[in-house]
Each structure stands twice: as C-alpha cells, then as structure tokens.
Amino acid sequence: MSLRSEAVIDRRRLKRRLSTWRVIAIIAGAIALMAVMASSGLVGGLGNRDQIARITISGIIQEDRTQLKMLRRLADAEHVKAVLVYVNSGGGTTTGGEALYEALREVSAKKPVVAQFGTVAASAAYIVGLSTDHIVARGNTITGSVGVIWQWAEFGQLLDKLGVKFNEIKSGPLKANPSPFQPINPEGRRVAEEMVADSQAWFLKLVKTRRKLDTASVPGLEEGRVYTGRTALRFKLIDQIGGQAEALAYLREKRDVPASAKLVDWKPRRPGGLGLAARMGAYTRAFLQGLLGENALPMGGLNSIVGAPSGLSDKRLDALKSVWQR
C-alpha cells in the first residue's frame, strides 16, 4: 500500500473520530441545557414537571437579597407544588429572620411549606420555622431560644493601658451610644433595653400567633430557653418528630401534593460566576465524566466558578441578633 493511500485512510479515521466527539458534545450540551433550565424553573424535567423544592437555611442568617429573590421565583413557579425548608442554624440577625419569615409567608400563601429542623434551629432559625405550615424536628434537635440580644465589646480600659485616647465629636448624647470606647451610661442602656424589648415583643407575638399558644405558659420560653425536639413537641413549639421522610409524607398525605412530584434542590444564583454558562459547563463535565470516566477531564479552575463561598465579610453581625450562643 502506498504512503498516499495510508494518508487517505488515516484522514478518514480522524474524521470519523471527530464526528463521534461532535455528536457526544452536542448530546452533552443538550442534556446540560435541559438540566439547567429545569433547575432554574424555566422548563420541567424530561418527564413530569411537578417538583417539591427543597431549600437549605444554614449558617448565620442575614438578610440575603439573592436568597429572597429565589423565594419569589419559587412562589411564582407553577411547576413547584410545595416547598421543604431544611433549617440547620443557630440563628443570626433579627432582621435576617424577619426577612425570611415574610418571604416564606408569601410562598406559603400560594403553596404548602414544611420545615425540617436539623441539628439546631434556634432563635432567628426558629423564626424561619414559624413561617411554615408544619415543623418537623429530630428528637434531639436544639430549638427555641426565643429572644433578642445586643452585644458589644468595651475597649476603654485597654486603650488607657496602651496610652491611646479615643476622641469624638457627636451631635447628641445618644449618638453612637452604646460605644465600645467608653462605659455605657444609664441613658444609653435605657435606649438599648427598649430596642431589645421591642424586638422581643415582636418575636413573642410571632410565636403566639403562629403556634397558637400562650408563651407565658411554656417554661422558660420568654426567658430564651432552648429545648430538645421532644420537649418542643410537648409544648407545641413544633408539630412532629422526624426527618425528611416525615416532612415529605406531610406534604403528600396532608396537603395533597402529587406523589409524582420530585424533590429538587433550589439554590440562590450567586453573583460572581458565569451564571448559565458555568452551570452548563458543570452539567456537561458531569455528563462526560460519567461517560468517559471520573479522571477523563481535569477540573482546572471550574471549582472557582461554580459554588464559590461568599466572603468573610458576610459573617459580621452588626445588628440586633436572634442567635443561640453556646
């Protein structure tokens, strides 16, 4: 066989291989696009469109515009038949709990919402539970801690020892009072106590209204006590002992959510990534690795695009807090 003939055969083989990879790429792209659109609520899955959306509330609770926007989409998504809120948090800012409460109440006006408490669901995290129609918790879940706290450090004596003097000019005696740079005076303490008491009254009213109970009759509730799930059930702070299976059973048996509705995780669309393109890339990579093997494609910088954690600045709590501290 001549060298010319061998070259022709090699080119034909190469073309066949390229055609095969093109077909694989087209199929992977189509699957990725459908998966992204389904998870975004743009279209249903490849079969039944009905979903039970599962959202996760964890870590420090703060007002999160991206998360609130997702909840508005959930409320309006017709293919989402119910929402399961998994809560595993010691709380956070009181305003963060309030924002989530109001957003979830709007969702609940349109479809059933159930809460599943994890290891801990206290303070602002318990406020999240109050927004739902039914609360399921483990027997050993830590919950309750109905209360508000305002804390600040006082550095005045430390600065004196270091020879540092802090100067300020302010418009009135209640401006920046309390302050970490000087001892609190009676007037500043009175204002701080009034703010905490006002927020506490709001929190207790939520409990009275949503749980339909007299908070004064529950031992330690108005003093900020925490409870196990079993004790919380006895005092009607939750509705049921269990986990995800019990939460789903409530939706399907008590709220007539179709048994065919699939549980689908919804997550906020965080800024800073490549949005749809990055998510399509993630789905495509998963498809190709499943087809070709786990090590067929290097991960490269994809992890820095998809699911990157938020900055440390998100952890600050310069506000009235509803948080269980241990």
Active-site amino acid positions: 123, 175
Residues 144 and 147: their CA atoms lie apart, in Å, by: 9
Separate counts of helices (H) and strands (E) for the chain: 9, 9
Q: What is the β-pairing status of strands 51-61 and 142-144?
A: unpaired
Q: Are 69 and 271 in contact (CB under 8 A)?
A: no
Residues 281 and 278: their CA atoms lie apart, in Å, by: 5
For 325, phi then psi, to 5°, come to -110, 130
The encoded tokens of residue 295 equal 């090590």
Q: Report the largest interatomic distance among the alpha carbons of the chain, rounded to a whole angstrom.
A: 103
Task: State the helix-helix crossing angle for 65-76 and 94-108, rounded to 10 degrees.
Answer: 10
The encoded tokens of residue 219 equal 């031992």
The secondary structure of 255-277, three-state, reads CCCCCCCEEEECCCCCCCCCCHH
